[in-house]
Amino acid sequence: MKNFTITVDADGIALVSFDVPGRTMNTFTDSAVADLDLLVERIRADGAIKGAVLASGKANAFCAGADLGELGETAGGQAKGATLAAALPVTSRMSRALRALETVGKPVAAALEGLALGGGFEFALAAHRRVAARGVKVGLPEVTIGLLPGAGGTQRTTRLAGPRKALDFMLGGKPMDAETAQSIGLVDEVVEPGEAVEVAKAWIRNGGEGVQPWDVKGYRMEHGPYTPAGSGVFMLAAAQVQAKGMHNYPAQENIARCVYEGYGLPMDAALRVEARLFLATQQTPQARAMIRSLFVSKQANAKGAGRPEGVPPSKVTKAAVLGAGMMGAGIAFAQARAGIETVLIDTSQEAADKGRAYSEAIVEKAVSRGTMTREEADALIARILATTDYEAIAGADLVVEAVFEDRGLKADVTVRAEAVLASEAVFASNTSTLPITGLAQASKRPANFIGIHFFSPVDRMELVEIIVGKETSTETLAKAVDYCKQLKKVPIVVNDSRGFYTSRVFDSYLREGFEMLMEGIAPAIIDNVGRMTGMPRGPLELTDDVAIDLVDKVARQARVDMGLGEPSGGSDKMLIDLVAADRLGRKNAKGFYDYPKGEPKRLWSGLAEMFPVKVAKSDPELLEKLKRRFLYRQAVETARCLDEGVLTSARDADVGAILGWGFATWTGGPASLIDMVGVARFVEECDALAEELGDRFAPPALLRRMAEQGDSFYPAPKPLEAAA
């Protein structure tokens, strides 16, 4: 075996150490799955082995799951019929191996001293007992990348935790701590860190039985779909799927089917149900797109895929943040968390201290939850110097400007900071819309000037958009990527333009909602359809969250820069009218919605006066058309960014869209959506929309060229292999 080693102690207990060579974390590669058969055979055939404990040879985790790089290569092929049947024995190898493990005839315990996710937790579920160290996280997050647990996870969790809790666990996809897992029956015992292996061995020594409850004669599952206690759970499963994914995710529906169809069947038959549905799910275009964007591409970006070659690596030891508002405070926290000495500057000491208090609140909560020690918290806060003194910037490797979106203010702080900065230091603007080349005019060193656009809240949002100005050097770009990697962020690299990529395309989503409103479509329909596409919020409620006056301010600045006068109509005029009516959004409790204190929000009645409703009821045909408008408007704007060179890769487009503004995850991102539809068909449908609704849907030359040549943004999947 290449991935497992076995040592047998004097009591005949085999310690099975899972340690995939060349990897920092265990994953079930094809090689590791093949080793499972050898592992089971060794445990079964070796008379000296009385029982086995499964443990990790890595210090950081038990197992992070399947190797998605390998799995994703054949995903989305949409194979059918005989091809699927021939491939089923290959794709269900791990499921069969784990079934052999739990029926090996000897007690097997899993000792979890680190993260156990996906296939790693399914490995543990096949053991007869699970012992987890306090603080360990376990989970089946497959749904978050378009898959379902395919190695027995849907069946074992249902039998251990019951259908309701199993569905919550798998449809949500969020890991849970060991104590919570124990409370629902997925973990048997929680111990202090470092004790799991010995406690697992003790269970075997004390007569632990090597048989699962469902393999005991007479076993029956309780609360089935046809019992008074269980019928409600299964009746509500469809509603649960609808609420979580609006039926955009085949994985969610198939998880519910696995639980329903496998319930009450003997385990071997239930596993066949799961295997069939896993393969069907893996062959959907949604699975392929989600695996690619949320795992393969995201991981590549996190490792610095956009970094120019040939530039030595750099590390920031001291950095300054100009502006201690919400964004600046968040950036300061991210830097201090990464061990960077941070200077947080504002115009008054009170404002600077308030910015540092943001970090203090975060670490206090972490200490109270036990996820950070008092010493770690104190050390983090000690790395943040809150001040009004620009002289404190001296010695900084990098400065991030995070002041208001005002050119004059940004120019002023640029000059003041550069007066004390070393010649090789990087100056970055956190602007979300203003072109970097224009802002760099205030700098004496435009080659060192770059855009680093964080997303709020900075402590939770992974994405950073790095914007390269006309004079930005490759060395500065490399340093910016290295800095983002230090912060454990996921950077995409874009070229300079108004709104860059993320703000520009995000705005197109809001604007399409505005267009619908002005057409007379009921605002409730607009926001409901927005969510139906897979967007996290409808465009009107999202505008309220962002602030109507902020969207208006960005639009005003764009008109000034482009030499345009006041609008006489359209969505820009709508924004002006709303601001004039003091409808600013959630921040003043008056926007497209009213926000009565202590009550749910409700649509502002005055909208009907501004935009009389002409379409008050929807039908399936209208809903599909509106969904297409929302998704295609964003996708065609993304294609324009690629056509204009703002974006240089489909990978950055997709990762940036999903992580930046929550573009419908099931699509894998706007470039993946175009591939999913088919470029030629997408162009044809956009032309029809453009003829009806205007040039905002007109496909750029890039897409027309791709359609003519039969190209796509990504290569086709590899064909499935049949069992030898």
pLDDT at 228: 78
pLDDT at 405: 86
Residues 145 and 274 in one domain: yes
Which CATH number does the domain housing residue 154 bear? 3.90.226.10
pLDDT at 723: 63
Can 453 be counted among the known catalytic residues? yes
Residues 352 and 274 in one domain: no
Residue 147 within any structural domain of the chain = yes
Residue 195 within any structural domain of the chain = yes
Helix (H) or strand (E) holding 20: none
pTM over 0.85? The answer is yes
For 19-96, where are the E strands, in sequence order?
A: 51-56, 61-63
Nearest to 674 by CA among 640, 644, 645: 640
Residues 271 and 325 in one domain: no
Angstrom distance (rounded) from CA 609 to CA 589: 19
Residue 721 within any structural domain of the chain = no
Angstrom distance (rounded) from CA 289 to CA 676: 8
Angstrom distance (rounded) from CA 611 to CA 617: 16
**Choice among 128, 223, 247, 453 that is catalytic:** 453
Residues 202 and 252 in one domain: yes
Structure tokens at 413: 């702080």
Helix (H) or strand (E) holding 118: none
Virtual torsion, Cα 167, 171, 176, 179, nearest 10 deg:
-10
Structure tokens at 523: 């605002």
Residues 85 and 122 in one domain: yes
Pairing relation of β-strands 449-454 and 4-8? unpaired
Residues 472 and 516 in one domain: no
Q: Residues 720, 74: contact at Cβ < 8 Å? A: yes
Q: Name the packing angle between helices 250-262 and 153-161 (round to 10°).
A: 60
Q: Which residues contact 432 (CB under 8 A, 6 or more apart)?
A: 405, 453, 499, 500, 502, 503
Which CATH number does the domain housing residue 683 bear? 1.10.1040.50
Across the chain, which has 724 residues, the per-10-residue mean pLDDT values are 96 97 93 96 97 94 90 86 88 96 98 96 98 96 96 97 94 95 98 96 97 94 77 82 88 95 94 96 96 96 94 97 96 98 97 97 93 95 98 97 92 96 96 92 97 95 97 98 98 94 96 97 97 96 95 90 88 95 96 95 94 94 97 98 97 98 97 98 98 97 98 93 69
Angstrom distance (rounded) from CA 723 to CA 704: 41
Residue 613 within any structural domain of the chain = yes
Among 457, 482, 497, which residue terminates a domain? Answer: 497
Angstrom distance (rounded) from CA 255 to CA 359: 40
Residues 563 and 628 in one domain: yes
Total number of domains in the chain? 3
Which CATH number does the domain housing residue 363 bear? 3.40.50.720
Domain encompassing residue 147: 4-283
Among 465, 497, 529, which residue terminates a domain? Answer: 497
Residues 467 and 525 in one domain: no
Q: What number of other Cβ atoms are within 10 A of residue 184's Cβ?
A: 17
Residues 327 and 411 in one domain: yes
Among 448, 468, 497, which residue terminates a domain? Answer: 497
DSSP string, 594-605: E--TTS--EE-T
Angstrom distance (rounded) from CA 151 to CA 146: 15
